[in-house]
């Protein structure tokens, strides 16, 4: 399955997204750079309290 990632917000989100990409790769998912090619899109955003 093809997965695309979008990371929005602070630099910590980018680190979290990169770690999540590694987990998806380790479980056999194909990571695509273009979200239009993805079957699943994961969006990582900051939550402000």
In the chain, where the domains are located: 2-7+12-44
pLDDT in the model for residue 12: 83
In a 13 Å sphere around the CA of 29, the CA atoms on its Cβ side amount to 19
pLDDT in the model for residue 11: 82
pLDDT in the model for residue 48: 64
Residues paired with residue 6 on neighbouring β-strands, in sequence order: 43
pLDDT in the model for residue 49: 61
pLDDT in the model for residue 17: 93
DSSP tag of 28? T
Q: Could you tell me what percentage of the chain is helix, strand and coil, using 3-state DSSP and rounding each to the nearest 5?
A: 40, 25, 35
pLDDT in tens, 3-36: 999 998 888 888 999 999 999 999 999 999 998 9
């Amino acid at each position: 399955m093809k997965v695309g990632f979008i990371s929005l917000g602070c630099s910590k989100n980018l680190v979290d997204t990169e770690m999540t990409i590694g987990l998806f790769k380790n479980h056999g998912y194909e990571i695509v750079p273009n979200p239009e090619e993805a079957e699943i899109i994961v969006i990582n955003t900051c939550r402000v309290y």
